[in-house]
Amino acid sequence: MRVIFHLLLIWGLGSVLVSCTTNSSPHPEKSFADDLIKRIVPEYADQFSVEHIPSDSSDWFEIESVNNQIVLRGNNGVSIASALYYYLREYGHCQITWNGTNLKLPEKLPVVEGRIRKDSPYEYRYYLNYCTFNYSMSWWDWERWEKEIDWMALHGINMPLAITGQEYIWDQVYRSYGFTDSDLDPFFSGPAYFSWFWMGNLDGWGGPLPKRWKESHKDLQLKILQRERELGMKPVLPAFTGHVPASFKKYFPDAKLKRTNWGNDFEDTYILDAGDALFAEIGKKFLEVQSEVYGTDHLYSADTFNENEPPTDDPKYLAELSDKIFEGMKSADSDAIWVMQGWLFYSHRDFWKAPQIKGLLSTIPDDRMIILDLAAEIEPVWKRTEAFYGKQWIWSMLHNFGGNISMFGRIENVAHNPAEALHDENSGQLKGVGLTMEAIEQNPVLYELMTDNIWRDTPIDLDSWLKKYIKNRYGRTTPDLEKAWQILVQTVYNGQVIRDGAESIIVARPTFEGYRRWARTKLNYAPEFLLPAWDLFVGSMDDGNQYEGFLYDLVDLSRQVLANYALPVQQQMSLAFKNKDKEKFEQYSQELLVLIEDLDRLLATQKDFMLGPWLAHARECGFTVEEKDLYEQNARDLITLWGNADNRLHEYSNRQWSGLLNDFYKPRWEQFISQAKTDWDHFDQKAFDKNIKQWEWQWVLSKNEFPVNPQGNSFEIVVELYKKYRDKIVPLTNIQPQIDYNY
């Protein structure tokens, strides 16, 4: 059910027409697939031949060798791109991930015996979460977006969330009612906080937003949408859910507004009541302006009450509410389909029981709504809602929260559960699979595995799949590497006990306790069980394996082992303080600080673990010094305090990154240790927290630079740290005090 993309689409307000394609070929998607091949494997592009065969059936692709060419055949650009990646993986033993790419192919490409055909059992293959646009994508330019769209196509994605540039639409709509800069400057958030601004959780934080950002990201969104549509994707654009400026009453004094607050850490926001006639009017105008600027594929994302409860649990009220929201969509687009993140049914399950969920969904036709079971690999909501009471729905993997980089995942669930749900007689209108992580660029194995479900309808045999994954990633497979990955499956990727990846005590606001709210250190495995995998990886370095994937995994595993080790070191420091043993306190406090320094040096060898690029890209988005400073402040704030100095979300988006370790986490621990020594007999944790918050805020406002290119040799530093720490870890871990993890 692919929407044919018109050759001309109204992109901007007024009568300016912009061509949606740059090729006059009668088969434009073939041309765009050819272009993708040239971007991915330019030296081999002439050995591939593309055949685009449109069809109304489910998506499919074929691969075969004909006349010394590898023929990639499919019904749209995504299918052809998926055929390319299937060939690269299965015949070229290649891999393309955020954290390491292997495209080492022989001069003459391998021949395909016979014809390979794959059909997708899923109409929809969804991608992205509102949060991804900030935890990972805040500072992306077109060059980075182009790579991601290629990644989407190669991995079979055909339904991406596309919310870049929405601030431009909101600006146009509210200015059409007479709103001025003074009305809107307190409304728009800074660029690192758009996700929560779009969802109605906050206003203004991190702003005021420069006009130049709105214009530049409108242009960026046009490029994003054009490329996604060229490849046959159907982007999901947002709809109006009632979020209005605080100045709304100034222009509409009789408007019915609901004042709401997202956890008391930000100013109140205002939601226009769906029963107010203005709701339908503004909702219609929003979609009309958006369609004029960005076009439409008739898929609209709208999430009511994101982490905010409705004013009543009356199912009738909830039914009327959703009916009005959908009527607003239909008034602007008679073909509108509502795409809803099902997060509220998971996060606020005490409120959303069967009558409330039924009420909310009851007034929308089953074929006009798609529910994302947002965290199905954690808790499949479809199983307790009779498959969302007849609505179309998508089995989704959430996996990552806040952009934390711990090795973690429910690998067995991801391998088996989508296909099991597909064949479950109670799964109703299961129409797709999706990736709905809060952030990307970590744990690539989970994303390669999840997207491999797209072109199959049977569970994945994890053992055989991992053998191929290892060979494609490292250029070879060995018994040691296979054994190492079996250990990883049983430890970091076993998906037991905890909801999301455990954090290191290093990133916690310093304490003598063994955890903090957003630096929860409980592991889903005994830390010593991970050490044999480290042994095997270090032992596999002797041939100088230079594959990007191996280097990343080696550093990541070493990071995880040492990040885990920080807890027993810190707990011994705490025990020494409790026992008033100054000698032991000095020993373990210094060991903790040196461990942080060592981790910083290790992570500096890999670009994916560095603070510098994150800050540099933020500054590059600005045109003036003032803009650059504002964006850097946004970037620093999100990954540390998240909001102001007293924000409850501090450390929610913590990152174990080189630069952040030495410049933020280590100085905090140094100040904590120093204060403990000074107040040896009457240390006051609350007083320390109050003071350190101000230091943290000054760090957010600072502007010192960090390296943007890797430094040091990964192999050499791993070997050094392995020799230094390997024999110390088990003895100290085994005498670690028992920690109360009841949080």
Evaluated on CA atoms 356, 358, 362, 368, the torsion sign reads: positive
Q: How many CA atoms lie within 13 A of 583 on its CB side?
A: 0
Distance, CA of 719 to CA of 742 (rounded, Å): 37
pLDDT at 216 (0 to 100): 98
pLDDT of residue 741: 63
Kindly report, residue by residue over 285-318, the tens digit of the pLDDT: 999 999 999 999 999 999 887 777 888 999 999 9
The residues with which 337 forms a beta bridge, in sequence order, are 299
Which DSSP state fits 610? B
> Would the pLDDT of 542 be above 80?
no
Amino acid at residue number 251 = Y
Residue range 515-532: average pLDDT?
94
HSE at residue 257, side-chain half, CA atoms within 13 A, is 21
Domains and CATH numbers, the chain: 8-119 (3.30.379.10), 479-734 (1.20.120.670)
Model confidence at 11: pLDDT above 70: no
Is the model more confident about 740 or about 483?
483
What are the pLDDT digits (tens) for 190-218? 999 999 999 999 999 999 999 999 999 99
| SS3 of 149-194 | HHHHHHCCCCEEECCCCHHHHHHHHHHCCCCCHHHHCCCCCCHHHH
Q: Is the pLDDT of residue 380 over 60?
A: yes
List pLDDT tens digits, range 597-627: 999 999 999 999 999 999 999 999 999 999 9
Above 50 in pLDDT, residue 16?
no
What is the predicted pLDDT for the residue at 643? 96
Give 275's pLDDT tier (boundaries 50, 70, 90): confident
- Give 158-179 pLDDT, tens digit per residue: 999 999 999 999 999 999 999 9
- pLDDT tens digits, one per residue of 29-85: 789 999 999 999 999 999 999 999 998 889 999 999 999 999 999 999 999 999 999
Lowest mean pLDDT among 9-13, 199-203, 447-451, 723-727: 9-13
Cα-based angle 125, 440, 507 (whole degrees, multiple of 5): 150
* pLDDT of residue 12 exceeding 50: no
Mean pLDDT of 570-574: 97
Asked which of 121-130, 509-518, 603-612, 691-700 is least confident by mean pLDDT, the reply is 509-518
551 pLDDT higher than 50: yes
Euclidean distance between the first and the last CA atom of the chain, given in angstroms as a whole number: 47
* 386 vs 365: CA distance, rounded Å: 16
> What pLDDT is stored for residue 505 in this prediction?
98
